[in-house]
Amino acid sequence: MLAHFIQVDADLLGRIGEKPSLAERLFQPDLPAAAFDPERMRAAFLARGPQLLAGTIDLHPSLRGQIEESLGRTHEALRSGEGGDALFALMQEHLGRRGGGPVEGAHRPLSLDKAWHGVHYVLCGEVEPGESVASGAVLGGAEIGEDFSGYGPARCFPPAQTAEIAGALAGPEVEREATERFDPQRMTELQIYPFGWDEDAREWVMGAFRELRSFYADAAGEGLAVVTCLV
């Protein structure tokens, strides 16, 4: 589980609000066109795709209505081999949302890797987001769209909130207090991800904190918003 952040301009944030699937493109890596042979892939979908999907419905009956609506084919039709072209078209549509190169209006990215929960904890001393502005820097923000990563939807901070967080992280006392909160035994007891903390991880977490502080400061200085997601 990794935490990723990206600075976006106000126009892109507005477009994401209108079309939340754009958020997925910010965090899912582009898939190189060279990795695909469309004709071979289409042939494979026609040959086996419908039957495999029918088998999925057998295992998960609750998905039947959603799958039948998406493909315009009944469970029985899929079992008989119909719907391969519709399934292939749906796959191409999904790849189109993910691919297509960089998203216009997206700026500097940041990954906290697996240090994200440790950074959150040293900022506020809590496992979950709290009431303070600093406690929202990693796990806060307004949710956008659906959960595409399995760890919750993407979240966003408009420019004003980004500037507020940047200000909350800027004071010299913030780093001092964060350093004092780093307690490997307590963090392990609280099951702060990725678990099994020791003193050697202190600089790893504090280095990630400094990167996050710089990231928010840069975004605020440029009047940008921030979008984040666990993937």
- Interval 54-69: pLDDT, tens: 887 776 677 788 778 8
Number of helices (H) and strands (E) in the chain: give both, helices first.
Answer: 12, 5
Residue with more model confidence, 186 or 37: 186
Q: Is residue 226 helix, strand or coil?
A: strand
Read off the pLDDT band of 94 (50, 70, 90).
low
As a whole number of angstroms, the distance between CA 83 and CA 71 comes to 7
Q: Residue 24: how many CB atoms within 10 A of its CB?
A: 21
Say yes or no to pLDDT of 121 above 50.
Answer: yes
Q: Write b or e for each residue in 104-136: b if 16 or more Cβ atoms lie within 10 A of its Cβ, otherwise e.
A: ebbbeebebeebbbbbbbbbbbeeeebeebbbb
Q: Which pTM was predicted?
A: 0.70
